[in-house]
Amino acid sequence: MKDKLKGLVVGILIGSTITGATAFAASTTPIKAVIQKINLYVDGNKKSTANAITYNNTTYVPVRSISNAIGEKVSLKGDHLYIGVQPKITVNEDNAYKYVYAKIKKDVDKYKLGMMDEGYSDDGKYFVVRVYENHPEYIVTWGYYYVELTNGAVYKYDIPDNKLVKL
Decide: helix, strand or coil at residue 122.
coil
Split into its structural domains, the chain has a count of 2
User: Is residue 128 included in any domain, yes or no?
Assistant: yes
69 close to 48: Cβ distance less than 8 angstroms: yes
User: Is residue 18 included in any domain, yes or no?
Assistant: no
The region that residue 156 occupies, defined by phi over 0 for left and psi between -120 and 50 for alpha, beta otherwise, is beta
pLDDT attached to residue 99: 95
* 25 Cβ contact partners less than 8 Å away, ≥ 6 residues apart: none
Residue 157, H or E segment: strand 154-158
Model pTM score: 0.51
**What are the b/e assignments for 131-152, b being 16+ CB within 10 Å?**
beeeeeeeeeebbbbbbbbeeb
User: Is residue 107 included in any domain, yes or no?
Assistant: yes
140 close to 116: Cβ distance less than 8 angstroms: no
Same domain (yes/no): 61, 108: no
- What mean pLDDT comes out for the span 15-44? 70
Neighbours of 123 (CB within 10 A): 6
Same domain (yes/no): 63, 106: no
Same domain (yes/no): 99, 158: yes
Same domain (yes/no): 79, 118: no
Domain residues for 38?
34-83
User: Is residue 119 included in any domain, yes or no?
Assistant: yes
pLDDT attached to residue 26: 55
Residue 117's CATH number: 3.10.450.170
pLDDT tens digit string along 65-107? 888 888 888 877 656 788 888 777 778 877 999 999 999 999 9
pLDDT attached to residue 77: 65
Same domain (yes/no): 100, 67: no
